[in-house]
Structure 1
Amino acid sequence: MTTLRSEIVVVGAGISGIASVIKLKEAGFADVVVLERGDDVGGCWSTQKYPGLTIDVPSMYYSYSWAQKPDWSSAWTPGPEMHEYCRNVVEQFGVRDKFRFGVQVTGSTYDEKRNEWVTETADGTRYVSRYLLNASGVLSELKWPEIEGMKDFQGTLLHTSAWDENLDFTGKRVAIIGTGATGIQLAPEIAPQAGQLDVYQRTPIWLLPKPAFKLKPRTQKAFATVPGLLRAARFGIAFLMDIVFFQSFVNYPTMGPLTRLAEKVGRRHINRQVDDPEVARKLTPDYDWGCKRPSFSQNFYPMFNRSNVELVTDSIERFTPTGIVTADGVEHETDIVICATGYQPFSGRSLPTYPVRGRGGQDLRDYWENNRYQAFQGVTVHGYPNFFLIFGPYNNISGSYIAGVELSVRNMVTALKGARKKRANYIEVDAAAQRREFEEIIAKQPKSIFQAGNCTGSNTYYIDAHGDTPLMRPSNHLKEWIAARRGDLSPYHIRSVADATSKKRTLSRR
């Protein structure tokens, strides 16, 4: 068995892993290795390749604040361009050599005697490190529908996150299961090619208009050359996304009028674009806007005006070798079934995607199962020394996932720099500090749309098995940004620990 040593091991090379290794390098931590099971950086932007894929947050805000791009092709970046952005950032900051691809992490255990993390991989290699950073993300484990007879289906069956670019839909009978953020992008791309397209909807989604806003060359040039213009544009988008959009989720009593306005716009959007009143009715949600992840589209609703597209709202009973049987007893013959059913955020398999065993050998996933999802600042958990989460429970404080990632990375780097300053090698959040913060978060949850609004029947993944909403922190970006810059380390136990087999080791500047 091969054993490799480094000061810091990062698991995951997506948005979180890229930000982590760059900011660690800037802080003087050079002995870092990033383990990635895929073959490139970018996380889900590397693996997802389905037609129509775009981000659904404005490009200038769905990017690192410290690596802005003035020449986005569109306000809504296509998936391949987002992947290329991730690759370019890695090259720009000179960290490509830190990544190890094709490495499947199978588990990591804290060695209390040595004060080290031992991370094991599928090929038998052990990575021993002082610190472990989980950057595997919340969109890592695919969610397949649990339907009787799926294995009996003799046609083509695939998940959107494992896309086959050689698929030919010409004249085929195609079924798409799911009308969430993925399904609404993919279906309109397939409809003109397919002989018949059946769109299976369990729960309708609120969609707002999404104008095709391309960035013209003169606009790109202005962003690149006019001092402060790009930053000002980004700030304006951030204000709308954070202060208006995000607060509608976590502060419903105050922002309720905004959600009702969004619902009004959404209903008008449906009724203007769908010819058949009955189809329009089926596409209209009966829960509050924001309970289920809302999205934007300009071409999803008009697709249902095509003669070869059918909206199927009867639940799926089972698969047959040649198709799908719905609750009304009808068998829909199908050649290709596409599951646009997303991921499993905050489930036993997704955060983290491998066992993390802390002090006493307790698996972090078991800890959360018994104690609900909690982590101080969304970054550290008592009982798991020298372990950090990038985008853990209650970390998201913004309309942009990347803003939450940057916050996590800043808090993590602050703790590591604090330990280095003290010549220490042990960092653990105080149990009482973690408990107080969690209690404060839970006390604010009744103000969220998920408790104060009408979310019955939304089937939202925002609510976990405990009835909590760990994807959203009931706070605001500005408040958390100020707290992160303050860098208060008083909630942490930071000290030097001598292992049982060698002299006391200290954290050194690399």
Structure 2
Amino acid sequence: MTETTVVKGYSMDTTATARAQDSRPPGRVSVAIIGGGFSGLATAIGLKQAGVEDFVLFERAEGVGGVWRHNEYPGAACDVASSLYSFSFEPNPDWSRPFAPQPEIKGYLERCAEKYGLTGHLRFGTEIASAEFDATAGEWTIETATGERHTARVLVSACGQLTRPKIPNIPGLEGFSGEVFHSAEWRHDYDLTGKRVAVVGNGASAVQLVPQIAPKVAQLTVFQRSAEYLIPKPDYPHRKLEHWLYKRVPGALKALRGAWWGIGEYVNPALTLDMSPAVRKAYLAPFYYATKAQLRLQISDPELRAKLTPDYQIGCKRILLSSNYYPALDRDNADVVTDAIAEVAPNGIVTADGTKREFDAIIFATGFHANGFVAPMTVRGLDGRELNEQWATGPEAYLGLTVNGFPNFFLMYGPNTNFGGGSIVYILESQARYIVDAVRQLNRSGAAYFDVKREAFDAFSAEAQRRLAGSVWAKGGCTTWYKNEHGKVTNNWPGLMIEYRRRTRKIDLRKYEVVR
């Protein structure tokens, strides 16, 4: 087995001013990680704790944080309790609120990178354009957007599912004379005060940003494709006593984390199992009736209330948390439009019924391209096969982690690893442990590479789709990013979080071709 060495030039500053496009020579490492969010950091910290120092983490931005670095829209915050939406090995007793705002989460990730000694492994300002596997050498050749080349035995894609903002292809959009931007690319230099503003979309980001901008704009119009199930958000500023309790009382923060984990795990069977609409509604009754009560109490206009009432099964789309979205829509300067957008005029938006509304700015809160997983990066495995082409009818991966024909390649937050209830960080830690164990086994075995067997890959894909066929995402009557245009649920796990943790506890080499 070929020995590899760390290239000293990878040492970098963790500040936002750190630059990567310099004269450093290309390098060879054991493990290359692409992405500096929760996924990439979980893997990097896991390698570090396992004594593996021969790795580099590539990040296209100028610092760590991933989506929590890029999404800086007003009101951006976690909608999973921060005691659970954080690393289990790095609990934080100092969150200012139960659901931390974006700057705190970004700061938390920056502190983790520094505390766990990742500084010398980070390479910022480096976007990866392509990766190709060389079976003879047992290595991945990785090329950056600037043409720089690197090689690694193991490649980890930690790009995440929600990284590329999605703006609908609407006729006339390029001719709009006002301001246009996506919520994930917020224009902080543009003052919305006194402006006529259209918000296209009403999902998780819209629910957070709309209450922040509604009081300052002259007119706010939300273009809604379908209503959301919205439950009150139990959020408030933490008191000093709570911070004291989490810091001084052994197990207090762990118990809080466990309670939130239990709530998420309670929800998951109602989403994944094949239930009738009546049974599912009864199982989720506390959440269902909380949404009904909040809607009735906070929206006084029956016509608006009807627009905001979902017409699909609860859980089909993500259940959202907010206590101030409905009041923002109940304002005199706010409106909700449910007619489809036909085109964008130079000074406004025209809906399918022919109505034209004039705007100064259009904000797209339309989510992300969630089914590409590695796009726009090109990944080529054995025999030159290209990953996106192989995924033409929908992404698949064994345990959401590995793909047949792409040896020594691991996905973080890959296909079928999302959850309707719980925290993705819990899942990312499970995946990181699996990848670290795979790196250990690869080093111990003397093998050139591991490639998941076709039969194991196919069996898992068939199992996942069979189980998901009865899920609320497949049968709930809604359109969602969890499901692709072929009707295949590509993003979500078909069971409980604890099942995923058990099945990824360590790599099972019986499922892999070990090539020496």
> For the Cα contact (< 8 Å) 1:136–1:352, is it kept in 2?
no
Aligned to 1:143: 166
* Matched position secondary structure for 1:485: coil
* 1:261 to 1:234, Cα distance in 2 relative to 1, 3 A: closer
Give, as a single letter, the amino acid of the residue that structure 2 aligns with 1:78: P
- Once the two structures are superposed, what CA deviation does each residue of 1:295-337 show, in whole Å capped at 9, x if it has no partner? 0111111112211111111211111111111122221111111
Give, as a single letter, the amino acid of the residue that structure 2 aligns with 1:446: A
- Once the two structures are superposed, what CA deviation does each residue of 1:356-401 show, in whole Å capped at 9, x if it has no partner? 000011111111115x322111111110011111111122356211
* Matched-pair identity in %: 35
* 1:131 to 1:487, Cα distance in 2 relative to 1, 3 A: closer
In the TM superposition, 1:467-486 aligns within 5 A as 467-485=487-505
Aligned to 1:184: 207
In the TM superposition, 1:373-412 aligns within 5 A as 373-396=395-418, 399-412=422-435
> For the Cα contact (< 8 Å) 1:188–1:299, is it kept in 2?
yes
* 2:142 matches 1:119: yes
Give, as a single letter, the amino acid of the residue that structure 1 aligns with 2:289: K
> Displacement of 1:260 after TM fit?
4.7
Aligned to 2:236: 213
> For the Cα contact (< 8 Å) 1:395–1:408, is it kept in 2?
no
Aligned to 1:249: 271
> For the Cα contact (< 8 Å) 1:53–1:186, is it kept in 2?
yes
> Displacement of 1:489 after TM fit?
2.6
* Matched position secondary structure for 2:504: helix
> For the Cα contact (< 8 Å) 1:260–1:289, is it kept in 2?
no
* Matched position secondary structure for 1:465: coil
> Displacement of 1:246 after TM fit?
2.3
* 2:45 matches 1:22: yes
- Once the two structures are superposed, what CA deviation does each residue of 1:237-295 show, in whole Å capped at 9, x if it has no partner? 101112x1222211252754223543332122111101110001001111011111220
> Displacement of 1:352 after TM fit?
4.0
Give, as a single letter, the amino acid of the residue that structure 2 aligns with 1:494: V
The separation in 1 between residues aligned to 2:123 and 2:465, in whole angstroms, is 39
* Matched position secondary structure for 2:339: coil
> For the Cα contact (< 8 Å) 1:263–1:288, is it kept in 2?
no
> For the Cα contact (< 8 Å) 1:156–1:337, is it kept in 2?
yes
The TM-score, its normalising length taken from structure 1, stands at: 0.93
- Once the two structures are superposed, what CA deviation does each residue of 1:196-255 show, in whole Å capped at 9, x if it has no partner? 11111111111001133322111112111211111111111101112x122221125275
The separation in 1 between residues aligned to 2:54 and 2:286, in whole angstroms, is 51
> For the Cα contact (< 8 Å) 1:422–1:495, is it kept in 2?
no
> For the Cα contact (< 8 Å) 1:136–1:353, is it kept in 2?
no
Give, as a single letter, the amino acid of the residue that structure 2 aligns with 1:323: G
> For the Cα contact (< 8 Å) 2:434–2:506, is it kept in 1?
no
* Matched position secondary structure for 2:76: coil
Give, as a single letter, the amino acid of the residue that structure 2 aligns with 1:341: T
* 2:302 matches 1:277: yes
Among 295, 300, 319, the residue aligned to 2:325: 300
In the TM superposition, 1:77-476 aligns within 5 A as 77-242=100-265, 244-253=266-275, 255-347=280-372, 350-370=373-393, 372-396=394-418, 399-451=422-474, 453-455=475-477, 458-476=478-496
> Displacement of 1:162 after TM fit?
0.6
Aligned to 2:11: none
Give, as a single letter, the amino acid of the residue that structure 1 aligns with 2:213: I
> For the Cα contact (< 8 Å) 2:405–2:451, is it kept in 1?
yes
The separation in 2 between residues aligned to 1:406 and 1:12, in whole angstroms, is 15
* Matched position secondary structure for 1:182: helix
Runs of 4+ residues deviating >4 angstroms: none
The TM-score, its normalising length taken from structure 2, stands at: 0.92
Give, as a single letter, the amino acid of the residue that structure 2 aligns with 1:130: R
The separation in 1 between residues aligned to 2:59 and 2:296, in whole angstroms, is 45
Among 13, 34, 40, the residue aligned to 2:57: 34
Structure 2, gaps ≥5 residues long? 1-22
